Structure 1
């Protein structure tokens, strides 16, 4: 999940590297470092903590350099384990994102060969392997070093003699930005938005040579190739806070626009959806995207009649196909680079299973693996906690369900509801003070339950995750009917229960549930979308959201839960944009 950046050109590298690193701190912020070529050798700076806290007085002159922000996987959080790493002679510097599976064997081998290792990491070994194979041709040395590696990596190598960067990747993302006489390298496109608008996306096994004059050479299987150059669709205004206190709040407020932009993509319908019978559909995802998979299961099962099973991607095991055309995988990942999702997708694709990919990044690995790509138009998301990328995933899944249902009259009515959704969310955002007041009350507790029924259960799970992520408040989500089967033992005046109660077929049962909870002395917070007089009799706090169609009401309830979590985190003094120990794009297993 680490963030890597690189630059070679005519400008001073340090300000570019630091700015780019700040933009990818969502990939990890345990420590950071930069290496800059100064004409005599390599200047190196490494420090524990996020990049924006410690760079004010840093001075390093040079027009080529690399940088890294770390999420620790191998080796403790320490200055010595921070990147960049160098070889024995400090003539080669590298930054790396990924996991080297055979690092113990490589470490033993390099020590036996006389190399001096300065860190506990697997990444440092790459610098020493390049040193082993160096002989004037940096590209050849990097290729040979890569052949020794087992695992995932995106690596940038810099040699003090050549003023060139060599980039290679395997199952870990990297993007190359092409400027006027300069080249940029980054884990993700947001790092270089505003510097370039032309980019290339290397494939696994590609080796890219970035030269000091801004030219680029790409090699695959020993031969030089040409990669397609793509237009970068994002701009620098999308990666700033734009007057908001936090990225998370900004991105919550960007959801109406993101939903409108996503609707625009599918104004003429969706193509590539299954046309025949599909006996088994598996929706694979991790984290917040897994809650979107659960939403897909609820929608496609109840509204379309498909046999859909949501599964945490890291737990999925590909079996033998039951028959051609009978199985389908829906893979959901906001970045399109989630390692735990990509692995089973690759395995399923190898068996001939059709893949529908849902992602916010159309150039991502998931997009390239998918037979059908359903893109969301959330734009860049900087806060670690997903907000607009999640609700746009939900919208795409609701659109898919409407298409697959095939009821023209129903589709027309739903399209009207879909188009009204962004405006309804704007209404909610405009009068969010009552949510802020409820959050300030909730912030005084350390544990909470969140209950729902039917298609709102994924909303409860996402709300619980958000409270844990950004407010450090322990929250447990589940079906309302399950409270009586154990959790009732924990109810007291110190354990509030948040209940999601829309105007749907489950309303009566939900009111019964909160009545039972209140009878046991636990305070109740109710999220509702209609008349609440009966509910207010049992609830300490009531949050009302605008009413929309039942199939998409989970989206607007999710936005309310995001605001509740954000304001609760602020009240509890939590770093809502960068929760401890977390990273946004989980590209390691």
Structure 2
């Protein structure tokens, strides 16, 4: 959730550190700080505020070695005393992402040794522990490794020492960390976005790795204390992909990037005809033989999994279970041998999801398939099969293009599964593929509704509560639409299967409860019309997004907008777009911080 960045260079690192933090602001934070080491001079600067505040106070600083941090409060309130970097003894400064589960025991032990704690954080224990283990030694890396052996929990850390201004140490367990390689300078960060303006040559550290960065190179030691070689890769992501450009917010920019993201995600799938080989060696046999599908995910990714359940069951007849990752791992049970477990994640570093994947392996002889947007994430390395989405960098906390490309990947998977199991005729498989090929153009058509949606948003911004209704694959999209409105507009919103109205939600309906309904031209249309009439009869204000040919069924509703596309099997994707726009423009009307909503973070790397 927090962001960390470090650098050692022949030139001043302060602008690099501040620019890196600015590019990590999307991860969510409430305080920021940096530390510099230079010729045995040690400088620490912390603010209970934004990176812009930190930059203003750091304008006169310079140094050739340093670390920086944006903190999202977990232990202790957001104030300067709890902000990072934290001081260990009189010469160690550290930054930390994650949670140290045994920090209380460490705090008691270190206090008994004479260390004085000045914050409420778990992170300060790391700093004092490293200082204690370093002692009179000259081996900073060994002290960090010794501390790692004592720490329980998930973390990524950066360490600098006044007595060793020629090096920066960083390490990871559970939380992501990437190295950036330069000429006469080296970097690390919790996300590649922080490093893109500096270098595109990256190394993703493995779990348990420790790296020592010097100006002229790096040294990596693995969890066993052995020198390790990790492959350096050129990251093919433009530095300006995390720049705002002509748009008002990153969320708006990313909504309008979705046609391109879908095109890129589909390129190889359309070329190969949505076949199992897209997912890696052994996929054909795994798809043909699996007795069941288990999907695990969190947040928007969970909603994508709920949509996929309809496709998979309808096209293959296989039973599909969809679980919230944080609940799955705490349920007892066994997985049927051969079950295909699909783990969906934008970052591939979500703590609950990784724990669920490992739990699934313990519960049976399963195959793990990852759908992820990051090529070298922990999830992708641990999976047996993989489909990489091509959403690119997503800065806004509320997922848009990452969610849509997950839906695309799951549609491709469901088609490939049906092909491998021979459960659909070739003509039907061809129609499914043709629908995908037309999707990018349909996305552009749906986004042309923005001005109409703005009028809805102007009205919606005056309400405190909203219901979203849908049926079949649009039920999960109702959940997703409600989540987006909650996340960024701070309006209490709930999504329901429309058939559930009479089982409770209808009691909430009156003139102060707007009800947003997504309508497709399918076999459930008549039933959905009845649900809408139930709302109208109670005085509810109904906002209908209707596919062409369904408008006549909704005379008399409060607002009716005919969308330009009949989505068919892909209606879940096309109807997602106006709901994203609705949440975005409602948030703009309310004046919220769209890209960085309160209390939330982009990457949830702790439980």
Q: TM-score, normalised by structure 1?
A: 0.97
Specify the alignment match of 2:508 in structure 1.
Answer: 490
Specify the alignment match of 2:182 in structure 1.
Answer: 179
Q: Is 1:275 matched up with 2:287? A: yes
Spell out the pairing of 1:439-588 with structure 2 (5 A cutoff).
Answer: 439-588=457-606
Bigger Cα displacement from structure 2, 264-273 vs 57-66:
264-273
Specify the alignment match of 1:232 in structure 2.
Answer: 235
Q: Is 1:383 matched up with 2:392? A: no
Q: 2-side partners of 1:18 and 1:422: how far apart?
A: 37
User: Structure 2 vs 1, CA of residues 161 and 558 (structure 1 numbering), >3 Å: closer, same or farther?
Assistant: same
Q: Is 1:189 matched up with 2:192? A: yes
The match for 1:402 among 415, 430, 438 is 415
Per-residue deviation at 1:233? 1.9
Q: 2-side partners of 1:276 and 1:243: how far apart?
A: 47
Per-residue deviation at 1:25? 1.4
What secondary structure sits across from 2:444 in the alignment? helix
What secondary structure sits across from 1:162 in the alignment? coil
Q: 1-side partners of 2:336 and 2:499: how far apart?
A: 37
* C-alpha contact (below 8 Å) 1:99/1:122 kept by paired residues: yes
Bigger Cα displacement from structure 2, 310-319 vs 63-72:
310-319
Specify the alignment match of 2:160 in structure 1.
Answer: 158
The match for 1:258 among 261, 277, 294 is 261
What secondary structure sits across from 2:67 in the alignment? strand
* C-alpha contact (below 8 Å) 1:28/1:71 kept by paired residues: yes
Specify the alignment match of 2:6 in structure 1.
Answer: 6
Q: 2-side partners of 1:308 and 1:538: how far apart?
A: 39
Bigger Cα displacement from structure 2, 35-44 vs 144-153:
35-44
What secondary structure sits across from 1:552 in the alignment? helix
Q: 2-side partners of 1:459 and 1:103: how far apart?
A: 41
* C-alpha contact (below 8 Å) 1:295/1:458 kept by paired residues: yes
* C-alpha contact (below 8 Å) 1:9/1:214 kept by paired residues: no
Specify the alignment match of 1:303 in structure 2.
Answer: 315
List runs of 5+ in structure 1 lacking aligned partners: none
* C-alpha contact (below 8 Å) 2:219/2:227 kept by paired residues: no
What secondary structure sits across from 2:241 in the alignment? helix
Q: Is 1:205 matched up with 2:223? A: no
Matched pairs, number: 587
Bigger Cα displacement from structure 2, 91-100 vs 154-163:
154-163
What secondary structure sits across from 2:568 in the alignment? coil
Specify the alignment match of 2:340 in structure 1.
Answer: 328
Can you list the C-alpha shifts for 1:248-280, whole angstroms capped at 9, x where unaligned? 000000000000000013231342253333233
Specify the alignment match of 1:143 in structure 2.
Answer: 145
What secondary structure sits across from 1:586 in the alignment? coil
Per-residue deviation at 1:219? 4.1
Specify the alignment match of 1:82 in structure 2.
Answer: 83
The match for 1:417 among 435, 442, 445 is 435
Per-residue deviation at 1:222? 1.7
User: Structure 2 vs 1, CA of residues 290 and 322 (structure 1 numbering), >3 Å: closer, same or farther?
Assistant: closer
Per-residue deviation at 1:120? 0.6
Per-residue deviation at 1:344? 1.3
CA RMSD of aligned residues (A): 1.5
Specify the alignment match of 2:102 in structure 1.
Answer: 102
The match for 1:293 among 305, 317, 342 is 305
Spell out the pairing of 1:38-53 with structure 2 (5 A cutoff).
Answer: 38-53=38-53
Can you list the C-alpha shifts for 1:97-120, whole angstroms capped at 9, x where unaligned? 111111110010010110011111
* C-alpha contact (below 8 Å) 1:154/1:170 kept by paired residues: yes
Specify the alignment match of 2:69 in structure 1.
Answer: 68
Q: TM-score, normalised by structure 2?
A: 0.94
Per-residue deviation at 1:42? 1.6
